[in-house]
Structure 1
Amino acid sequence: MPRLPALFLLPTVALYAAEPAPPVANNEQGIRVERVEIDGCRMVHPDRVEFLLAIRAGRRIGQRELLESIADDVKAIERLGPFSDIKAAQFPGTTPDSVVVRYSFRELPYVQEVKLSGVSFFQRDGTMKLLEIKKGGHLNSYQLEGDRRAIQRKLEDDGRRHAQVDAQVVESPPGSGFVTVTYAVDAGASIKVGGIEFIGLPDDLPRVLLREDRTLLNRISEAYQPELLPLDGSALIRRIQDLGWLDARLVESHVEVTDLVRPLDDRRRHGPNLAPDGERDDRVVIIYKLECGTRYTLGDVAFVGDTAGAATEAELLAAFNGLTEERGWPVLWRVLFATFVGAKLGDGHTMQTGDWFLAEELYGSEDPEGTVGAVERARRVVSNRGYARAELIPSRRLDLEKHIVHLTLQIRPGQVYTIGRVDIRGNDTTRDRIARRALSLHPGQQWNDDDLDESKRQLRRLGLFKESPGRPMRIVRQYPNDRPNEVDLVVELTEKETAQLNLGGGYSSASGLFLQFGFEEANFDPLALGWPPRGAGQQVGANLYLSKDRNAVSSSWTNPHLFDGPWSWTISGNLDNSKLQDWDERRISGGTSVGRNLFGNDVLLSGGYNFTSLGIRNIGDSAPDDAREDIYELHTVKGGVTYDRLDNRLYPTRGMLASGSLSYTGLMGGDARYMDWRLRYDRFLPLHRRLEGGSTVLRFSGSWRQIDSTDGNGVPFYARFMGGGSSPNHRGYDQNGEGPFGFNKKGNRSRLGGTRELLATGELIIPVQGTDDGIRLVLFSDTGWVWSANDAVHFNDLRVATGIGIRFPQQLPVALDFAWLVNRRDEDQPTQVHFSLGQIQF
């Protein structure tokens, strides 16, 4: 308990019955209040107290009313706050019909300073926020004890199980009423969970699966909280039962205390014979003793109830088993399809008689993007035919001898529903039609759960709306009483920042510094009357790039759904002055393209035309021999196809993106004739989803580019390319540093440029802050090379770079990569640093 001077004992509020005054003259006018005395004020002015009182000097009042008013006054003084031991009394006045009323109390001390001792600088601010006693307030012993307990509770939650907190109050100078409050903290050792062990666990149940269970509250390397051990024991048993060991039970759990062996500890350096000796006792090993029994398998599955003709039992059983037409492929093909085409891995899951009885396979994953359970698959056979309220209720029958679970699923289809109203809410800026065209459910259409899921996916892909675990994107069903055969939909959205301001720069080992200014708006509306002009879902952007060797300006506009249809239209222009090559070039270009969306906007077919005026001058001594000064006119016709199954355009965590394009320069005349082939593939696989909503993602990317001459004169020198640079290029090289080199006729080493390029990238993206748009750590590996037209493609030529990078959030969108070239040549630099400042959203 805190040590308080005697002056500041626990405040109590006491109302003493007013002492009866001597008999006064009984007259019709009552008793006169001669004066009101206030006793006990130190920092609070007496006038402030007197202002609250109902009893006033000179007032005549009856004896009963006098007592009631005094009681009310005591309560008013109490409500004022900084007082304790409040008393009221009345005394005879100077005349027989008068009284003197006195209010006495003790004013609480004034807090002039609040201190913390034994707390580090980084913990001080967070601890001070817990305190109710503040500088400039009055000392209250209840709050003082509450603050002491709050600090101790916080330390215990952080693993400081032996923490001690003492609240000290010092009046300075004595008798002044001013006090300094000091919370003296002895944090003790930080006790964390060093390990989790199991006794009695079956051999075919991976221990790591239980140690890393997200439902555990005491996890390895986190603060040890013994009061939560019973909850962890229950969570473990539920997890084991969900994996098929239905008879599992927890025999006991206990804790063994040890201590962490530091890297420089003698016990660590001198070998395993010197084990932890309990010097610090700052680590615990939690041991769970289990009895799991025999694992259960799935037995017979039967369906009962009236499906109202919506489905046959054979259809329901096939869906339950995961053997519908698209899921009936061999396992290898299902895995390949899920990996390379982008379907959920859970779509290939099956549950048939004889399989292990797994809760996740039966009921599905809690993750909305995870496994679809067997029960839900069977239910959707009915619900996708209009039965919006269809239910499939499973009941289990256990065969305890054979360890088999027989399932009976009761069908309650309800009635057929059609879509009534569809209301969009939360789109304060975005027009309704932008969200409506992403929906697969429309008024008058029969209900379908798969269309509901597809609607959510298309809304996410727009990139205009937020989604987080706390506020997920929802499409709420409502069943109006006046329209019994219809279901209304309410689409609840939260708009996100769609404008991106690019103000920053970058650095690479060879190119040096550059500045970049740009603006992009993903929700542009040219017909908007207000500012900013947003709401139509169109995309507009402009960029300015300035550096010593390159100045460029570009702009573009895209309408992804022309006239709200499946067609898109893009117009772009570019002016680029560059000295990055061994010559100076001025490139002026403009073009347009038209696209057609297919298969629920997953596939985009596009075609377009681009005109380029390319001026070459100031050819250097290191240029290739075929370099010539001139102004070249290039007419390019291009076409391509893109298959996009990414879940988010800015921060994808699952899905894939594949594209292929062919550009033909010279088909409509010009100074050169060549074809440019490009293939690209990106795949995102979520490995782990955190409670905050962020996902640890494994990304695979591959690209191939090839240029071929169509007139027999070879690919022009200005069309050949070099690799290297910041992502998405090969990060093991600086910009234009990867590719074939040779010696020209002048005897100088020259960048010849290549006609074929292969690049493969693997990245592990870890959300450090727990969210996909926060700080992310990136571990990467780039493998690739650029070959000239005369070189054969050999995999021995591939160069591998590994490295680490960091991506900062939207508020400070910095990208920083450190790359190490593994199998470098003598002329290659061993390391590269790539830094860039990306886009700020608002």
Structure 2
Amino acid sequence: MSSFQRVLTAAIFCVITGVAMIGASAPVHAQATQAAQSQPLRQILVQGNQRVEADTVLSYLLLQPGVPVDARSVNLSIQTLFATGLFSDVRIENRGDVVVIYVQENPIINRVILEGNRAVDDDAINEEIQAQPRAIFTRARVQADVQRIIEVYRRAGRFAAQVTPRIVELPQNRVDLVFEISEGPVTGVRRVNFIGNDSFSDRTLRRELVTVESRWWRFFSTNDNYDPDRLEYDRELLRQFYQNQGFADFRTVSAVAELTPDQEDFYITFTLDEGDIYTFGDVSVETELPDVDPERLVQYLSVRSGELFQGELIEESVDTLNFAVGATGYAFVNIVPNISRNREDRTVDVVFEIEEGPRVYIERIDIVGNTRTLDHVIRRELELVEGDAFNRSLIDRSQGRVRRLGFFEEVEITEVQGSSPDRARLQVAVTEQPTGELAFGAGFSSTDAFLIDLSISERNLRGRGQFLRFRIAASSRREQIDIRFTEPRFLDRNLAAGVDIFSVRSDFITEASFETQSTGFSLRAGFPTTRSTNLGLQYTLRTDDVVVFAGANQALRNQAGSRVTSVMNYTLRWDRVDNPIEPTRGFRAEVAQSFAGIGGDVRFVSTEITASVYRPLFWNFVGSLNLNSGFIMGWGGDSVRINDRFFRGGNSFRGFEIAGIGPRVVVRDTTTGRLRGGDALGGRFYAIGTAEMSFPLPLPEQYGVRGSLFTDFGTLGLLDDDDLIAEATPGSAFTTDDLSLRVSSGLSIFWDSPFGPVRFDLAEALVNETYDRTEFFRFSTRTGF
């Protein structure tokens, strides 16, 4: 064997021997380590704690004396101590049979200070954040509170708000937590645009939204601030509007808010898919409940085959079926309207399926977020109380009723599991909004000249839901001061009650050589009789002073003096229009009667009837027919005083001046035989109709200009015998009372200008008497600031 082979053999032998020795010694070392780890724990020490007791720290540990320490128990103990939020640092050191827990406690918050918040008060922010005095300070909670404060400002329309947290260290491991707030400008809504709306103009759709465009005179409004939650509600309002116009397939494709380049406002764009107009097809009710006749239930439905599809009629029908089936003894039913569209003939078939549902009762109703409004103001709008059967349709209706109060930005009713499977809790969450208003108004018209209007109102007085308004208005023809108070739920019933105190001076010198001063008060009450009808009752006690000026004839001089009027009246209203401001479909009707003579010096009975019908014609043209009539008569030997008679003209009969038609003191021209008119006397009977077609003008929609073609027709007259003066001699004054027909026709233009609504009327009297007072042009405007 060569020397090289001997060296190589020796080296290999040494490697093999070393590996063998390492392999033999490894188990021995492992056994020693295992023996050390399996040694029972004798003692646990806690160090670094100041406020937290050592026993409290030990209670969170998975380590116990007498039990060996392992890595899993150590890791879980550290995680548990961190999860308490009491400590900013935790370390565990293993010293054989002794374990030492090192902790560093989180500081205690001494004060929470808000700096820089002017638009949002401290209470509104403190309700949202978790940081409170004497609470534990953690950086994670502070960062979460920063996001909450930013969200509060976003809801207030300030998307540029920034919040910087800062701590001020104090003795005894305490800190002052300071939120430095930079509010930034209010982010308004510069423009609301619509894409895909072929059937309705942008202006019409904007009226359906809660969100409004920012204007300089809306400084008391918060709905002109961009709010993402409000935007979602607007999408739902659009859906309801379109579905009530027959667009069963309507959907809002998107609602996008884009910040303007100057970072001050948003452009909001709704992209719409209108779809086609549908009518109701087959309508039926299906149920397997005994003692329930489906064919009989169909008769109670608001849905009728062949009529225009309206989503609200389906909801009304569900409510009706709930009531009808409940009357037969089934308090727990599920009513599901199954809708199937026939796209070829554009009809919607509706099948109302009724089945008995699980028995669930409402255990409790919680109301949260009402920092100002009292609980009972909200509860009385709910159509359920504790102990009632759970009813989804009543819950949805209750949410809508609370939202319609106008006191809250947001309203949401959610269901929470109760103490047992057959119990449920309801949580009504609301967000308050300002309800007070200081309004200044100014205007000009061809009749009243310059006018001013100042009012201070509160719609939710002291959080009780009451309405209070003080108003002063003055013009060249009228001066008025009044105070109005309304309790919407008198005696906690669905009964609105109120009182008015007023003083009104009216000037009819130009038209009839007299003026009146009325001072008094009214007591009123009103309540709904059905979902679309309302009954109002009112008692008025007033003093009327009639001053007749020199030169008036004997018929007017007899009216001078002061009398006390005690009058009781009722008003029954029936309203089924689709839009209360600009109706395009439906009808309205109203009957009002007054009875004077329960005390006082005046005795009369008065009746007035009004009816209006609206129908869409073509494109965006809407046709309407309005009819109104009134009759008043004295009783007990009394005649009707001039201040209680009807005067018509101006806005009530275009083409004629105020008090431009009806009985009048006239003089016959001895040369031509024509009658020349003098003072108007009013009348005890009138009947006036208006046929009108409204349409958008061919101008950019953002100008808000629309027009209408109209024809007014009617009559006014019927004086008492005491007021009739015969023509004594040629050229002498006498009275006319012929109830002759008057007709006018013309064009009206409406403009939603930046300064308020402006109206122009151009009308020509087509049929009139020579003594009537006609006018071709009328102008009026009004604004608030």
TM-score, with normalisation over the residues of structure 1?
Answer: 0.47
Tell me the distance in 1 between the aligned counterparts of 2:622 and 2:378: 28
8 Å CA contact 1:664–1:676 kept in 2: the answer is yes
Kindly report the root-mean-square deviation, in angstroms, between the aligned alpha carbons of the 2 structures.
Answer: 5.4
SS in 2 for 1:593: strand
Does structure 1 residue 837 correspond to structure 2 residue 782?
A: yes
Structure 2 counterparts to residues 671-820 of structure 1, below 5 A: 672-681=602-611, 701-712=626-637, 714-726=639-651, 729-743=652-666, 749-761=678-690, 775=704, 777=706, 779=708, 781=710, 782-789=712-719, 797-806=741-750, 808=752, 812-820=755-763
- Contact (CA 8 Å) 1:674, 1:707: kept in 2 or not? yes
Which structure 2 residues correspond to residues 141-160 of structure 1 after superposition, within 5 A? none
- What is the 5 A alignment of 1:148-547? 309=289, 315-316=293-294, 319=297, 323-324=298-299, 326-327=300-301, 347-350=302-305, 368-369=311-312, 371=314, 385-387=330-332, 413-424=356-367, 429-448=372-391, 451-452=394-395, 454-455=397-398, 458-459=401-402, 462=405, 464=407, 476-480=413-417, 482-491=419-428, 498-499=435-436, 501-509=438-446, 511-519=447-455, 521=457, 523-525=459-461, 528=462, 535-547=463-475
Deviation at 1:490, TM superposition (A): 4.5
Mapped to 2, the partners of 1:316 and 1:831 lie a distance apart of 60
In the alignment, the residues of structure 2 paired with residue 788 and residue 716 of structure 1 have an alpha-carbon distance, to the nearest angstrom, of 13
Q: Could you tell me whether the CA contact under 8 Å between 1:303 and 1:408 is conserved in 2?
A: yes
What is the Cα deviation at residue 777 of structure 1? 3.6
SS at match of 1:668: coil
In structure 2, the residue corresponding to 1:808 is in which secondary structure? strand
Is contact 1:383-1:390 (8 Å) kept? no
* Corresponding residue for residue 476 of structure 2: 548
State the Cα deviation string for residues 675-730 of structure 1 (Å, max 9, x = none). 332233456678999xxxxx99766544322221224453223333321233xx23
- Listed one character per residue, the Cα deviations across residues 339-369 of structure 1 (whole Å, up to 9, x for unaligned) are xxxxxxxx24139xxxxxxxxx9xx96x643
Change (3 A) 1:755 1:449: farther
C-alpha spacing 1:425/1:816, structure 2 compared with 1 (3 Å): farther
Q: 1:834 is matched by which residue type in structure 2?
A: F
Letter in 1 for 2:563: E
Q: What does the per-residue CA deviation read over 1:545-590, in whole Å, with 9 as the maximum and x for residues that have no partner?
A: 3333443323322223223234443322333334323334341411
| 3-state SS of paired residue (1:434) | helix
Is the contact between residue 413 and residue 429 of structure 2 (CA under 8 Å) also seen in structure 1?
yes
| Deviation, structure 1 residue 837 | 0.9
For residues 443 and 349 of structure 1, the distance between their equivalents in structure 2, rounded to whole angstroms, comes to 36
Q: CA 1:750–1:712 in 2, change beyond 3 Å: closer, same or farther?
A: same
Deviation at 1:797, TM superposition (A): 0.8
Structure 2: gaps (5+ residues): 1-192, 198-244, 254-270, 343-347, 670-675, 721-735
Compute the displacement of 1:460 (Å). Answer: 6.3
Greater Cα shift, 710-719 or 454-463 = 454-463
Match of 2:537 among 592, 602, 606: 606
Match of 2:594 in 1: 663
- Secondary structure of 1:579's match? strand
Specify the code of the residue in structure 1 equivalent to 2:464.
A
Q: 1:605, 1:836 → 2: CA distance?
A: 31
Instruction: Give, in whole Å, the separation in 2 of the partners of 1:609 and 1:396.
Output: 54
Separation in structure 1 between the aligned mates of residue 696 and residue 494 of structure 2, nearest angstrom = 35
CA contact (8 A) 2:572 2:591 kept: yes
Give 2:573's aligned amino acid. Y
Q: 1:442 to 1:380 in 2, by over 3 A?
A: same
For residues 196 and 757 of structure 2, the distance between their equivalents in structure 1, rounded to whole angstroms, comes to 34
Q: Tell me how far 1:388 sits from its aligned partner.
A: 6.3
**Which residue of the partner structure matches residue 68 of structure 2?**
none
For the 8 Å contact 1:760–1:784, the answer to whether it is kept is yes
**Amino acid across the alignment from 1:732:** G
Alignment of 1:548-567 (within 5 A): 548-567=476-495
Which residue number corresponds to residue 591 of structure 1?
A: 521
1:51 match: none
Q: Structure 1 residues 651 and 768, CA, compared in 2 at 3 Å: closer, same or farther?
A: farther
Task: Flag the 1:800–1:379 CA change in 2: closer, same or farther, 3 A.
Answer: same
> What SS is found at the alignment partner of 1:369?
helix
> Retained in 2: the 8 A contact 1:523–1:537?
yes
1-structure distance, mates of 2:423, 2:697: 46
Question: How far has the Cα of 1:415 moved from its partner?
Answer: 0.5
CA distance 1:748–1:831, shift in 2 (3 Å):
closer
Contact 2:516 2:643 (C-alpha < 8 Å) held by counterparts: no
Task: State the SS of the aligned residue for 2:555.
Answer: coil
Distance 1:617 1:538 in 2: 41
State how far apart, in whole Å, the 2-side matches of 1:635 and 1:619 are: 25
CA distance in 1, matches of 2:549, 2:453: 28
Deviations 1:751-804 (A, max 9, x none): 1211112233456677999xx99957453634443223278886x714244433
> Does the residue aligned with 1:574 lie in a helix, a strand or coil?
strand
Which structure has more strand as a fraction of its residues?
2
Give the structure 2 partner of residue 469 of structure 1. none
Contact 1:316 1:381 in 2 (8 A): no
Hey, what's the Cα distance between the residues in 2 that align with 1:650 and 1:409? 30
> 2:152 matched to which residue of 1?
none
Distance in 2, Cα, partners of 1:676 & 1:742: 24
Alignment partner of 1:637 is 2:615: no
Separation (CA, whole Å) in 2 of partners of 1:748 and 1:212: 58
Distance 1:607 1:656 in 2: 25
TM-superposed CA distance for 1:638, in Å, is 1.1
State whether residues 707 and 748 of structure 2, in contact with CA within 8 Å, keep that contact through their aligned partners in structure 1: yes
Deviation at 1:636, TM superposition (A): 1.7
Write the distance in 2 (CA, Å) between the matches of 1:644 and 1:580.
33
1: CA distance between counterparts of 2:646 and 2:341? 65
Cα displacement string for residues 470-504 of structure 1 (whole angstroms, at most 9, x for unaligned residues): xxx86645251643223444556676775555533
Change in CA separation of 1:760 and 1:239 when aligned onto 2, cut-off 3 Å: closer
Describe the shift of the 1:477–1:802 C-alpha distance in structure 2 as closer, same or farther (beyond 3 A): farther
How far residue 378 of structure 1 moved from its aligned partner, in angstroms, is 7.6
Aligned partners of 2:608 and 2:630 also within 8 Å: yes
Shift in Å at residue 515 of structure 1? 1.4
Is the 8 Å Cα contact of residues 442 and 784 (structure 2) preserved in structure 1? no
Change (3 A) 1:392 1:462: closer
Question: Alpha carbons of 1:210 and 1:438: their partners in 2 closer, same or farther (altered >3 Å)?
Answer: closer
Q: Specify every segment of 5 or more residues in structure 1 that has no aligned partner in the other structure, as ranges.
A: 1-153, 159-208, 218-231, 245-296, 328-346, 352-360, 398-404, 467-472, 529-534, 690-694
Whole-angstrom distance in 2 between the partners of 1:588 and 1:392: 56
Does the 8 Å contact 2:567/2:596 carry over to 1? yes
> Which residue of the partner structure matches residue 235 of structure 2?
none
Q: Distance in 1 between the 2:427 and 2:577 partners?
A: 22
